[in-house]
Amino acid sequence: MPEFRIGEQDFLLDGQPFRVLSGALHYFRVHPEQWADRIDKARRMGLNTIETYVPWNAHAPTPTEFDLTGGLDLGRFLRLVAEAGMYAIVRPGPYICAEWDNGGLPAWLFRDPETGIRRSEHRYLTAVREYLRRVHEVIAPLQVHRGGPVILVQIENEYGAYGSDKAYLQTLVDYTSDAGITVPLTTVDQPIDEMMVAGRIDGVHMTGSFGSRCAERLATLRRHQPTGPLMCSEFWVGWFDHWGAHHHTTPVEDSAAELDTLLAAGASVNIYLVHGGTNFGLTSGASDKGVYQPTVTSYDYDAPLDEAGRPTAKYHAFREVIAKYHPVPDAPPPAPPAPSLTTPLGDPVRLFDNPEAWGSWQHHHTLPRLDDLDGAPRLALLRTRIDAPGAAVLGFGEVRDRASVFLDDQPVGTLLREHHQRVLGLGSGTGSLSVLIEDQGRVNYGPRIGEPKGLIGGATLNGVPLTGWDVLPIDLSCPPPVWPDEQRTPLTGPVAGPVLLRAGFSLPEPADLHLDTQGWGKGVVWVNGFCLGRYWSRTPQRTLYLPGPVVRAGENEVVVLELDAMGEPVVHFVPEPLLGHTEA
């Protein structure tokens, strides 16, 4: 069987120098029926390796589950990499960042507030050990010396930017070794002196994460690691987007020139990302460096392969650079254009008309957080009676992340975490008070990882605590089953939320589609029961990517949950993605 190890200056495959030319491709952000296509296109760009994170929270939605089926079949993904004649790098964390909800850490892990985060704390480490045992049951048999593709496994992720608990890092190494991983282990940190010192582990190979000034940063990496191969294991070729901000791109020429600098220096590289994919469902994370910024559904990342897996100008430029140093296969054929079509939405079912159809009520004396509810739902309706004379002031300890307030089922206002809003005036202090609370994505970087969601610290009316709450958790993993029959009710104009709508459309054969949400407010979309993710009228994302394997030949169904208001209740599929576009 092949042997992969670290030499004095190079990675060595069967004793011969081997340059790792890798691209990040997250299996959990790509429909599984498209894995082989994306892997093949990465190979045709000239890469010999595929890298992926492993999202703990996706595999383990509860403490007793570990899902390795469908789009979470890591073993199948790695075997497809091998079938393509490529190698694999796996980064199981347990923390991955990745602009992924909670940085990959399960929300249930922190129901006990004493649980540590990314440090030597026994509750945290007990759960981590079990997680690494389960994930390495998949990875260990697929190591290169056992006939599989895996050549490197990473420990933690950019730990030097977070902490300096060396015992914690060494414990992760021990857990990894105990689970049967014998290929070389790596760390990654930005080539900043204090980060590299804090994140290093004796005996584990160091790599860097950066996207510019490559010669300077390779020199810093070499200063901290005098021997062994140089590797940029996160070569940033784009960036991610937040709702309400601009769409990030990097000039093709600049990225290609930096890649050339890396390869001319003899370094190995992992392009982050060769293909970003999509935060399907409600999996995108958020940033909070004083202002909360939720990440958009698209993870296009301005990568060489766009969100729909189509080669871009950056793809062809990178291919030309790689060809200067290594042979490259034939380029992939052009992708067929996506079809366009339009169909009206109808069948409105408003939440307040029959909330029992959306879920089951629970009663709580005091206001619960979303994390206090089974499954930590992303959306919940909270209801109580208020009786105060005249106008009143409603207050919450903290809103995480968006609270829409209704009095007698009529909208009063919305409180946003990003605006640090916690109080709202009510024209009347008497009636049925409802609050629709939404988790818009858990912070994935920094000290706010692991924080609970919902309305934190209770509620008050004119400073007096509000008690006696009825709570309706709303499961968004699939459309709420609110339609009792097939009766169709057309819409004749704009519609106010919260409301569920649906439409049908027909195609002669499956195809990739781009759903244009222009004229819509804020909400979630499912097609044939598959959750495409969130939309919002804010920039920069206007289209949702619909993978061809989700589409059926013949009839298909779109379901839309509109939380605000929809000015144009029509489904438009357009031929191109619209990221950073605001005009019709």
Considering just the CA atoms, what is the radius of gyration of the chain in Å? 25
CA distances from 245 to 449, 536, 537, 582 (A): 22, 12, 12, 12
d(CA 467, CA 334): 60
DSSP classification of residue 45: T
Active-site residue, selected from the candidate residues 99, 156, 234, 438: 234
The CA distance from 251 to 258, in Å, is 11
C-alpha span between 474 and 360 (Å, rounded): 8
Contact between 471 and 454 under an 8 Å Cβ cutoff? The reply is: no
DSSP-assigned letters across all residues of 319-346: HHHHHTTS---PPPPPPPPPP-EEEE-E
Among 51, 99, 156, 158, the one annotated catalytic: 158
The stretches of 45-121 forming alpha helices (DSSP H) are 56-59, 74-83
d(CA 219, CA 227): 12
Active site residue 234: yes
Distance CA 40, CA 33 (A): 13
Evaluate the CA torsion angle 451, 545, 564, 487 in order and state its sign: negative
Rounded Cα distance, 385 and 177, in Å? 57
CA distances from 541 to 244, 518, 564 (A): 9, 10, 17
- The Cβ-side half-sphere exposure at 304, using a 13 Å CA radius, reads 35
- Partners of residue 543 on adjacent β-strands: 516
- Kind and range of the H or E element at 561? strand 554-562
Residues with active-site annotation: 158, 234
